[in-house]
């Protein structure tokens, strides 16, 4: 039987024994209305204290667009004039401003997609991007904002029984081709990625013929992967999000933090 365990850890890119976070606790939010229960959906920060949720599995493939506003503690379903095909097991990432990028997912029992969409909150509209070069169809991949209008995408389960992908792709709003390949990683799916400051992301956990406990840092300027200290336990299908920079008193450095919630451990 699959056991879902909730466990929180802080990834420190620079280390200190000082107390790092004041008020390190969870507060349950109870908005009056909210999306229906689902899994294999995707969420991403979209600026100004708001989060975008799209799709997922609700007994069928879902195509709903929702916005959560922390300031008002409300969920609002949006009804854009155009929307992506309903899907699950896709990935999304903040793109800057009030935009989010979405790629891939499965749209039926037998079909993964390589469609790429941008959602603009101000316009309340999804726009499909169709660059001449882009990654192939996939699901169960991960994406993360990496600064300056760029998003990094790694891995995933690729179509036609091809197993997991090892490719690393960069989406760049300033590049006419938009997608370009970077240094390959390893075949992985059900992993998690988060921005950690500068032009770096952390990749952790995942599935490679079983759950893994690795921790890797990608540096865009150097275009390389560096292995960091392994996690205490192996896991997959967890999630992780950037929570900003903290500069502790008396420490002459900036600590970059990402917060992780562990998923399937066994």
Q: What is the pLDDT of residues 43-91, one digit of tens each?
A: 999 999 999 999 999 999 999 999 999 999 999 999 999 999 999 999 9
* pLDDT given at position 180: 96
Q: Answer for the pair 213, 224: CB distance below 8 angstroms, yes or no.
A: no
* pLDDT given at position 263: 55
CA–CA gap between residue 260 and residue 250 (Å, rounded): 26
* pLDDT given at position 254: 40
Closest CA to 95 of 145, 34, 24, 49: 145
As given in the structure block, the two tokens for residue 43 are 């969420």
CA–CA gap between residue 10 and residue 28 (Å, rounded): 20
- In the chain, which stretches have pLDDT less than 50? 1-20, 246-256, 262, 266
Model pTM score: 0.86
């Amino acid at each position: 039987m699959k056991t879902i365990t909730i466990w929180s850890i802080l990834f420190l890119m620079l280390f200190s024994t000082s107390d790092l976070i004041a008020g390190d606790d969870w507060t349950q939010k109870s908005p009056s209305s909210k999306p229906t229960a689902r899994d294999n959906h995707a969420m991403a920060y979209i600026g100004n204290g708001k989060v975008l949720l799209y799709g997922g599995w609700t007994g069928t493939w879902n195509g709903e667009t929702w916005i959560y506003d922390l300031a008002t503690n409300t969920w609002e379903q949006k009804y854009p004039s155009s929307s992506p095909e309903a899907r699950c097991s896709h990935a999304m990432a903040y793109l800057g401003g009030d935009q989010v990028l979405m790629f891939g997912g499965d749209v039926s029992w037998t079909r993964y997609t390589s469609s790429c969409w941008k959602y603009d909150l101000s316009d309340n509209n999804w726009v499909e991007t169709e660059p001449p070069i882009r990654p192939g169809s996939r699901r169960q991949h991960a994406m993360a904002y990496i600064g300056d209008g760029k998003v990094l995408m790694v891995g995933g389960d690729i179509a036609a029984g091809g197993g997991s992908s090892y490719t690393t792709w960069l989406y760049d709003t300033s590049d006419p081709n938009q997608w370009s390949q970077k240094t390959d990683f390893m075949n992985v799916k059900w992993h998690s990625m988060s921005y950690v400051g500068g032009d770096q992301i952390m990749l952790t956990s995942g599935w490679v013929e079983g759950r893994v406990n690795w921790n890797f840092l990608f540096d865009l300027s150097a275009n390389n992967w560096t292995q960091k200290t392994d996690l205490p336990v192996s896991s997959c299908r967890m999630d992780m999000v950037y929570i900003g920079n903290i500069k502790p008193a008396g420490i002459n450095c900036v600590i970059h933090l990402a917060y992780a919630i562990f998923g399937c451990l066994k």
